[in-house]
């Protein structure tokens, strides 16, 4: 959410940013919210003046009564009553205006960083760098569900009966591999100075609207019927929410956290064959990294977090590339974002396995997360990045380590988490 003072002073910059995000339908909101803000500030000013006038009149009543000027005192009482009625009107007006202003400010997108490429959608994202040599073996790589089923590690049919499409059972060594990857990811981030957390898996509506846009909420989140609770779509939601209405001492920053959670997502819309199986599901588990830092440090942290993702996948011998998200592919709260994609030898292309985002002060402003500085308090910057999202990451793992004989090699970095096994199957 933008600072109202900034929007008031830089309306043309805000409108240009909306155009860069190809959201022209939101352009009229800028002028509307400026007009509403003017009415709101005028109401506040009038109310302040009336309260001062009422206080003065109230004091006058006592003096007049002491002087036995009863008629004049009654006139003053009538004036106080009239002022009280107008103040009630202004209070309601302030509430209505404030609610509408916030409603608009929540949908006006954050100002994107100047380095973000301009484009309409993810088809115009820009490749940054490749890491590792992508190869296609001379033997067939089956679809990931077939690899898992051959290893006795996947049951989709039973999951459809118990839960419907978009759910799965992982079994045996495949389930163990899933847990091993998460545990390795946890330790990988702890070794880099991050504090491990397991957060609540449900959050209140006020936290949800603080960490994401309304559009994201509608498309992603499951609401608990009859309660002000939502199932989280990623642990970032509750991790950032932990600091709602807090003021962190400057010297305590940065806060570097890595969190585990199950994630629940609606995944609205039709998806192609390559997004079936366990690629796009309603329930999965994920290891996340979250940073709360000084505003001037957030861009350096953005690049550092993205580097951790690349490093993690390379320790597992999985080729990856990074993509800069263009303006039209950025969610409204994001200042800058990049995707990490893993190599799929079966498809002969990369596919998304994570996203790194600098949210600027958008989440902090919505949730009241501030830093106590020498010259006053100011809003922190927040960042988040995926360490690893199994089971999607398992697709890349199984495809890249499948051997001609049908076994799956386990890289050295993961063997200690798999009881010393160096392969699956066989």
> Which CATH number covers residue 164?
3.30.930.10
Q: Is the pLDDT of residue 273 over 80?
A: no
Task: Please tell me whether residues 266 and 408 are part of one structural domain.
Answer: yes
pLDDT at res. 83: 84
Average pLDDT, the chain: 93
> How many domains does the chain fold into?
2
**Across residues 155-160, what is the average pLDDT?**
95
Domain closes at, from 80, 105, 130: 105
Percent of the chain exceeding pLDDT 70 equals: 98
Q: Is the pLDDT of residue 144 over 60?
A: yes
Task: Please tell me whether residues 261 and 364 are part of one structural domain.
Answer: yes
Which tens digits make up the pLDDT trace of 349-400? 999 999 999 999 999 999 999 999 888 999 999 999 999 998 889 999 999 9
Task: Please tell me whether residues 11 and 90 are part of one structural domain.
Answer: yes
Q: Is the pLDDT of residue 162 over 60?
A: yes
- Per the domain annotation, does 56 fall within a domain? yes
- Per the domain annotation, does 50 fall within a domain? yes
Q: Is the pLDDT of residue 272 over 80?
A: no
**Across residues 252-268, what is the average pLDDT?**
93
Residue range of the domain that includes 164: 122-424
Exposure on the CB side of residue 198, measured as CA atoms within 13 A: 4
Strands (E), 186-335: 195-197, 202-203, 222-223, 230-231, 246-249, 255-264, 283-293, 320-324
Task: Please tell me whether residues 42 and 87 are part of one structural domain.
Answer: yes
Task: Please tell me whether residues 129 and 28 are part of one structural domain.
Answer: no
d(CA 19, CA 26): 9
Task: Please tell me whether residues 80 and 131 are part of one structural domain.
Answer: no
Task: Please tell me whether residues 137 and 236 are part of one structural domain.
Answer: yes
Report the side by side order of strands in the sheet with 202-203.
202-203, 230-231, 222-223
d(CA 45, CA 87): 11
- Per the domain annotation, does 117 fall within a domain? no
Task: Please tell me whether residues 130 and 203 are part of one structural domain.
Answer: yes
Domain closes at, from 41, 76, 105: 105
- Per the domain annotation, does 205 fall within a domain? yes
Residues in the chain: 426
pLDDT at res. 202: 97
pLDDT at res. 274: 59
Phi, psi torsion values for 358, nearest 5 degrees:
-100, 115
d(CA 366, CA 243): 11
Task: Please tell me whether residues 320 and 397 are part of one structural domain.
Answer: yes
Q: What is the pTM of this model?
A: 0.89
Which tens digits make up the pLDDT trace of 282-311? 999 999 999 999 999 999 999 999 999 999
- Per the domain annotation, does 116 fall within a domain? no
Task: Please tell me whether residues 228 and 376 are part of one structural domain.
Answer: yes
- Per the domain annotation, does 115 fall within a domain? no
Exposure on the CB side of residue 152, measured as CA atoms within 13 A: 5
What CATH number is associated with residue 38?
Answer: 1.10.287.40
Task: Please tell me whether residues 31 and 127 are part of one structural domain.
Answer: no
Dihedral sign computed on CA atoms, order 250, 254, 260, 265: positive
What does the block give as tokens for 41?
A: 């500030």
Domain closes at, from 105, 132, 165: 105
- Per the domain annotation, does 220 fall within a domain? yes
Helix then strand then coil, in percent of the chain rounded to 5, is: 50, 20, 30
Q: Is the pLDDT of residue 277 over 90?
A: no
- Per the domain annotation, does 114 fall within a domain? no
**Across residues 135-162, what is the average pLDDT?**
95
**H helical segments located in 263-376:** 298-315, 362-367
Q: Is the pLDDT of residue 271 over 70?
A: no
Q: List the single range of 142-151, 167-176, 269-278, 410-419 with lowest mean pLDDT.
A: 269-278
Task: Please tell me whether residues 260 and 186 are part of one structural domain.
Answer: yes
Which tens digits make up the pLDDT trace of 10-68? 999 999 999 999 999 999 999 999 999 999 999 999 998 888 888 777 777 777 777 77
Which tens digits make up the pLDDT trace of 73-126? 778 788 888 888 888 999 999 999 999 999 999 999 999 999 999 999 999 999
Which tens digits make up the pLDDT trace of 217-251? 888 899 999 999 999 999 999 999 999 999 999 99
């Amino acid at each position: 959410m933008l600072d109202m003072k900034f929007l008031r002073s830089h309306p043309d910059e805000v409108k240009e940013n909306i155009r860069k995000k190809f959201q022209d339908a939101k352009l009229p909101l800028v002028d509307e919210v400026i007009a509403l803000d003017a009415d709101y500030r005028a109401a506040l000013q009038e109310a302040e003046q009336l309260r001062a006038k009422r206080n003065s009149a109230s004091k006058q009543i006592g003096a007049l009564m002491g002087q036995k000027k009863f008629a004049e005192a009654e006139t003053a009482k009538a004036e106080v009553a009239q002022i009280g009625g107008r103040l009630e009107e202004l209070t309601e007006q302030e509430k209505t205006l404030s609610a509408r202003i916030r409603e608009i400010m929540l949908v006006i997108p954050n100002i994107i960083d100047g380095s973000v490429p301009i484009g309409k959608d993810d088809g115009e994202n820009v490749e940054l760098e490749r890491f590792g040599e992508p190869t296609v073996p001379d033997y067939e790589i089956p679809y990931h569900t077939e690899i898992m089923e051959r290893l006795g590690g996947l049951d989709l049919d039973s999951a459809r009966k118990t839960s419907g499409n978009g759910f799965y059972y992982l079994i045996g060594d495949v389930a163990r591999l899933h847990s091993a990857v998460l545990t390795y990811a946890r330790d990988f981030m702890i070794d880099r100075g991050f504090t491990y957390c397991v957060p609540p898996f449900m959050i209140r509506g006020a936290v949800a609207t603080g960490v994401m846009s309304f559009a994201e909420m509608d498309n992603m989140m499951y609401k608990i019927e009859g309660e002000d609770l939502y199932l989280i779509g990623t642990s970032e939601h509750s991790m950032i929410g932990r600091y709602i209405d807090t003021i962190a001492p400057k010297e305590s920053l940065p806060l570097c956290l890595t969190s585990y959670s199950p994630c629940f997502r609606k995944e609205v819309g039709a998806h192609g064959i390559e997004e079936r199986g366990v690629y796009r599901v309603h329930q999965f588990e994920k290891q996340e990294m979250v940073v709360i830092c000084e505003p001037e440090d957030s861009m350096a942290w953005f690049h550092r977090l993205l580097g951790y993702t690349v490093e993690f996948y390379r320790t597992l011998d999985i080729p990856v590339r990074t993509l800069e998200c263009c303006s039209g592919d950025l969610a409204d709260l994001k200042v800058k974002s990049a995707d990490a994609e893993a190599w799929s030898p079966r498809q002969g292309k990369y596919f998304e396995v994570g996203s790194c985002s600098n949210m600027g002060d958008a989440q902090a402003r919505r949730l009241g997360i501030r830093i106590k500085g020498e010259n006053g308090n100011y809003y922190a910057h927040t960042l988040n990045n995926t360490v690893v999202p199994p089971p999607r990451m398992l697709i890349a793992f199984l495809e890249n380590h499948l051997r001609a004989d049908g076994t799956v090699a386990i890289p050295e970095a993961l063997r200690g988490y798999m009881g010393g096994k160096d392969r699956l199957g066989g």
